[in-house]
Amino acid sequence: MPYTVAQKLIAAHLVEGDLSPGSEVGLRVDQTLTQDATGTLVMLELEAMGLDRVRTELSVQYVDHNLLQTDAKNPEDHLFLRSAAQRYGLWFSPAGNGVSHPVHQAHFGRPGATLIGSDSHTCAAGALGMLAIGVGGLEVAMAMAGQPLYVDLPEIWGVELTGTLPDWVSAKDVVLEMLRRHGVSGGAGRIIEYHGPGLDQLSAMDRHVIANMGAELGATASVFPADDAVREYLEAVGRGAEFERWEADEGARYDHTERIELSALEPLIARPSSPGNVVPVAEVEDEEVFQVVVGSSANPGLRDAAVVAEILDGRQVAEQVSLDINPTSREVLGDLIAGGWLSALVAAGARVHQSGCMGCIGMGQAPARGRNSLRTMPRNFPGRSGTEEDAVWLCSPETAAAAALTGRITDPRTLEDSHQLVFPRPTMPETFTVIDAMLTAPLPPAQAREVELVKGPNISSLPELTPIEDHLEVPAVLMMGDDVSTDEILPAGSRVLPYRSNIPRIAEFAFERIDPEYPARAAAATAGHVVIAGRNYGQGSSREHAVLAPRSLGLTAVIAVSFARIHWQNLANFGVLALEVDDPADLEHVTAGDTVELDGIHAALRAGRGLTARIGGREVALHHRLSPRQVEMVLAGGRIPLAAREA
């Protein structure tokens, strides 16, 4: 039968299961990616497993999130990560090299490969014709140890792109259009595969923009074909020999279909405080703006910064606006200098920051309270910027530049009349700057075995992961609504992330944006506790801390209407029972503090998908989506204790 690109990639890496959507499959993993906010736990997990050396084709540890060095914690963790990369055979990218996803695409991404990463935006590598999936850190650690990646096989959602993008509309508006139509959970259980004649005008970096924010749609992955645009990109970064053509067969069929007519698109923007809250820029014009931030993995290309520079060339940003430029790698910074674009930005009043995630993860660049901040970033969850009462909007580089120039949210198309601007088309160099020396290659095995891990005082061991009891009678300490993000479960930012290697300390911040009293009430429930939520619980970041921190405080189970994919998997990996209600109306009578009773848990989980709880004295029908393999994992207390038991 004719295959789509995604089906070809899955079939080429299938080691367990079959191609029936919804069934659990095991996939061979070629490459892995970790970053510093999640990588310290991954390295501790490798140590706990006693791994001698990674068994993947290639694994890379990046430092791109926790770059602020306001005390010793972050630099000490960077030293630990360097030593762990040397000990276990990983490539290492130190602080200042750039954001992991575009750097990985430039140096290591190759068509036809599988990549998993402990960062939800790992899916950006789908731009090169890869099957790239964001997962929890333990999934990555197991892949490094040679284990398959287990996933429920997604359906394939074919999105046909036709027509040509108008002036002042770019790749960011394409994915914002997807979010406008489908919201933050519209891609759940699906791989999005883009195809059609509209691809002809989208470069590999344009495709990176679209694939990156597939995470915001809740999709497992986003896939583009490896075609001439990918070949041209690989040649431009000096790796043309690694090109392989991966395209859908004629007559390939998708489980779901959609069409976007590119010529019909207009500039779009996501209002505070969700990537799914998308409206046309023209509908919200004239809102005053105080900050504009350009950069991040969602708009990482040279073109994205250059177009801002050409709009602002010879002009000044509005008086009250802080225009912050985050070059996404040393190499992009070099090309901005060589092309004269950096000088134009500096002369226009821009503030140029180091290459890294920066304000995207709340690591500096916090806006003033309640003052509009326009960003070319992928997420605007409440408080993620580092300011609790923030007002963050997500937009394209063109819309960002227009706001920086006018001081107000401005449809960039109006600049042609108001500022006598023509739509800029920056000329890209035939070859991009490539600095191979900025990446440290793995040590030879014999030399690697002599490396001692460098552990600072802020690095603690993993918490004890005890088996789940057969009977639970525990309080529901939190009752939450829909779309609770991992930023709300366990915040990021410069105040919290320095404790990423210290689970007891970081647990003190758990759920603080929802209920600051949670840690104290959780600790008081000595037999354990449950939290209850609505739809799409755990959307956003892949960080395991959002499970491990509450788990260390006694979290035993989460009851929700539905779960975001990565967080659901993380719960299972660390032995927390994820249960979904059969009828969401059953939660209408539940309040925080109600007692949750579950009896005969072990037999019920092994027997099938359904079980019944008593919550506040009422019977509530529940079900789970765990495979038999995951059931045993949860009952053992998680994947690490199960592996130790089976060793």
Two domains, one topology: 6-264 and 287-431: yes
| Residue bearing the bigger pLDDT, 355 or 644 | 355
Instruction: Provide the pLDDT for residue 370.
Output: 92
User: Which of 517, 581, 507 is CA-nearest to residue 544?
Assistant: 507
- The confidence score (pLDDT) of residue 141 equals 95
Distance of CA 557 to the CA centre of its chain: 24
> What residues does each domain of the chain span?
6-264, 287-431, 472-646
Q: How confident is the model at residue 541, as a pLDDT?
A: 85
In the predicted model, is pLDDT for residue 361 greater than 90?
no
Looking at residue 14, what is its pLDDT?
Answer: 97
What is the Cα–Cα distance from 501 to 616, expressed in whole angstroms?
37
Confidence of residue 4 (pLDDT cuts 50, 70, 90): very high
Element (H, E) at 131: strand 131-134
> How large is the angle between the packed helices 628-636 and 639-646, nearest 10 degrees?
90
What is the per-residue pLDDT across 451-479, written as a single tens digit (0 to 9) for each?
A: 999 998 888 878 888 999 999 999 999 99
Q: How confident is the model at residue 643 (pLDDT cuts 50, 70, 90)?
A: confident
Determine the pLDDT at residue 646: 74
239, 298, 294, 266: which is closest to 111 by C-alpha? 239
Q: What is the pLDDT of residues 19-31, one digit of tens each?
A: 888 889 999 999 9
Residue 514 has pLDDT above 80, yes or no: yes
- Which DSSP category does 61 fall into? E
Cα end-to-end distance, the chain, whole Å: 41
Query: Over pLDDT 70: what percentage of the chain?
Result: 100
pLDDT of residue 388: 87
| Residue 454: Cβ within 10 Å count | 17
- What is the token pair recorded at 268? 């779009």
For residues 102-124, give the mean pLDDT: 97
What CATH topology corresponds to 472-646? Answer: Aconitase; domain 4 (3.20.19)
pLDDT at 543: 85
CA dihedral 577, 578, 583, 585 (to 10 degrees): 90
pLDDT band per the 50, 70, 90 thresholds, residue 647: low
pLDDT of residue 22: 83
Q: How far apart are CA 286 and CA 1, in angstroms?
A: 53
Q: How far is CA 550 from the centre of its chain?
A: 21
Closest CA relative to residue 292, chosen from 391, 187, 417: 391
- Residue 216: pLDDT band by 50, 70, 90 thresholds? very high
Per-residue pLDDT averaged across 334-345, rounded? Answer: 97
What is the spatial distance between Cα 122 and Cα 297, in angstroms, rounded to a whole number? 10
Q: What is the pLDDT of residue 463?
A: 82
Q: Which amino acid would we find at residue 127?
A: A
Across the range 502-511, mean pLDDT stands at: 93
Identify the weakest region by mean pLDDT among 341-345, 351-355, 363-367, 419-423.
Answer: 363-367
Report the alpha-carbon distance of residue 148 to residue 141 in Å, rounded: 11
CA–chain centroid gap for 141, Å, is 17
| The dihedral formed by the CA atoms of 191, 103, 99 and 81, expressed in degrees to the nearest 10 | 100
Whether residue 49 has pLDDT greater than 90: no
CATH superfamily name and code, 6-264 = Aconitase, domain 3 (3.30.499.10)
Distance of CA 201 to the CA centre of its chain: 26
Q: Is the pTM of this model over 0.85?
A: yes
3-state helix, strand, coil in the chain (%, to 5): 35, 20, 45
Does 70 have pLDDT greater than 90? no
What is the mean pLDDT of the segment spanning 148-162?
96
The mean per-residue pLDDT over the stretch 564-586 comes to 95
- Fold annotation for 287-431: Aconitase; domain 3 (3.30.499)
CB 472, CB 640: distance < 8 Å: no
Quick one: what percent of the chain has pLDDT higher than 90?
A: 86
Cis peptide before 461 (omega within 30 of 0): no
CB-based contacts of 286: which residues, under 8 Å, 6+ apart? 408, 409, 410
- pLDDT, residue 495, reads 87
Summarised one tens digit per residue, pLDDT across range 174-189 is 999 999 999 999 999 9
Q: Are strands 31-35 and 24-27 parallel, antiparallel or unpaired?
A: unpaired
